Amino acid sequence: MTQEITAPLNNTLSTEVATALPHWLTPSNLQGMLRGIEKEGLRMNADGLISHLPHPAKLGSKLTHPYITTDYAESLLELITEPTSSIEQTLALLRELHIVVQQSLEAGELFWPLSMPCMLSKDDNDILLADYGTSNTGRFKTLYRNGLGIRYGRRMQTIAGLHYNLSFGDELFSAWQKASGDTRTLTAFKDDKYLGLIRNFKRLSGMVLYLLGASPAICACFVQGRQHHLQPLNPTTYYLPYATSLRMGKLGYQNSVQDDLDIRYNSLDEYVKGLQQAIHTPHQSFTKLGVDDQDGNPIQINDHILQIENEYYSPIRPKQVTKAGEAPSQALQNRGIGYIEFRAIDLDPYTDIGISITTACFIEIVALYCLLLDSPDLLPDEDAMLAANQDIIVNRGRDTSVMIQTTTGEQALSDWLNQHLEAMQPMANLLDQLYGSNNYRVALSVMVGRAQDPRLTLSAQVLDDTERLGSAWKLGKALAERHAAQLLGQPLTAEKQQYYQQLADQSVKQQHELEQQDDISFNAFVAQYR
């Protein structure tokens, strides 16, 4: 009888990892898996500059549409799929949303395919904040974005990525709990196991950045006026020769204020406490900015470390579907962890929807691996080591001489990657058995190839094509044009067209209704929140 995986990842990185699956785990235990995707991407003008046009009217209201909205900027589209029972279904839904978007773009606009933004002007104020209408709820969303802009700069908020949301069914946790003789509630057991997954994913995030990173170069405009360590590829593009995911480095989703946060994942109470403390604690630098302008109009929600909980930039988050009036941490407290949001994923610019089935399968293999592997508490010293490793992999990951730190000493990055990829084979086999496919094993073999030969990585391909075409912008435009042609060549059925039109019309109606319901001024609304 095989035993549970117990070798600690603490590991990062211990040199031996057990590969046997737990004796209780069968394909049927995994049948309750659900996944969904949130995918961001900028609208760009035909000349390559970020679009200044409003959200396409054909798409409906970005405030109330269930699947098509915006993130920070008016031009930063966000497409959201429903949870589904298979990767193929999820990718098909994401493709439908891309087709709807592509059909709705006007004036020669394109959907920028890279994580790092297309060309920006010298003036950050040219990046228009997402406008959610005149309701207090809509204005509050815009105010939050204005706060992000004055805190970190609007430029940083134009970076795009992909969030992969994944949950395992109760059947898996029930079988696991029974086999282990655990007497807690199922919710408490699930929370414990999901947090273990999160800790292990943080330990393995360097692998994801190496294998899926696709942002080794950026438009020069992004770093204009900023100190940076990048090299000029040419007058319009900066890069690092062995970079993997600059998006996840110090020029991307990083800021010094949040570096000081002590939000941990060793228990749900600990995580929620850390998050809530951050949204209730003022920070001197944000206090200096002020919360209102000279006329008394709010310019940020508050001067706290986090305005709201979603401001916390983490490569992975525990999530629960929120009910009306609930903050994310309250939903977690009330009903436990419902799913995990994997956030450290660059857009794949070579697919017309930003993610391939290979990437999706690999993420699920990693998730199952991280769930099953023993997961000791993640403490500050190890966290600091992981952060240092991440910095190395972001900037020099494809350098074959790269070494990373582990709890047992220094190790070659390639050896560490191969060690864990080999240990994931049983998970790939099991998932293929569940879905009657070969997709997971193929995905793993692709990643093994990338680990063994850096030239096969997405980041290497992006850099080669950037050099060949002459700039990051030229590559992005060429791929955007290709994707547009591909998507427009896949028209939706008349039924689907009608369905999305109804969604758009309904969303406009819902926004209008919200705008009629407000019974207090916006300033009073903000004061209540504060």
Determine contact, residues 441/428, Cβ cutoff 8 Å. Answer: yes
Question: Each residue of 260-313: pLDDT tens digit?
Answer: 678 999 999 999 999 999 999 999 999 999 999 998 899 999 999 999 999 998
Q: Are 7 and 374 contacting, i.e. CB atoms less than 8 angstroms apart?
A: yes
Check whether 11 has a pLDDT greater than 60.
no
Q: Which of 481, 519, 448 is nearest to 349 (CA)?
A: 481
How high is the mean pLDDT of the chain? 92
pLDDT of residue 179: 96
- State the Cα–Cα distance between residues 130 and 119, nearest whole angstrom: 18
The DSSP symbol for 244 reads: S
| pLDDT given for residue 47 in this prediction | 84
- CA 6/CA 196 separation, integer angstroms: 12
The long-range contacts involving 178-183, CB below 8 angstroms and separated by at least 24 positions, are 178/24, 179/22, 179/23, 179/24
pLDDT for res 125: 85
pLDDT digits (tens, 9 = 90+) for 219-263: 998 988 888 999 999 889 999 999 999 999 988 765 556 666 789
Q: Is residue 9 scored above 50 in pLDDT?
A: no
Residue 384 has pLDDT above 80, yes or no: yes
Fold of domain 31-254+315-329+336-529: Creatine Kinase; Chain A, domain 2 (3.30.590)
Q: Is residue 479's pLDDT more than 60? A: yes
As beta bridge partners, residue 317 has 341
Is the pTM for the entire model greater than 0.85? yes
Q: CB of 309 within 8 A of CB of 327?
A: yes
Interhelix angle 494-517/87-104, rounded to 10 degrees, is 70
pLDDT score of 253: 66
pLDDT at residue number 458:
98
Residue 92 exposure: Cα atoms within 13 Å on the Cβ side: 8
CA 187/CA 195 separation, integer angstroms: 12
3-state secondary structure of 471: coil
- H helices present in 66-181, as ranges: 87-104, 136-152, 170-180
**Torsion sign across C-alpha atoms 277, 278, 280, 284:** positive
Examine the pLDDT at 91 and tell me if it is beyond 80. Answer: yes
CA angle 277, 144, 52 (to 5 degrees): 150
CA–CA separation, 530 and 525 (whole Å): 9
440 pLDDT higher than 80? yes
Helix (H, G, I), strand (E, B) or coil at 441: helix
Element (H, E) at 219: strand 217-219
Nearest to 340 by CA among 268, 430, 412: 268
Residue 20: per-residue pLDDT? 72
Domain positions in the chain are 31-254+315-329+336-529
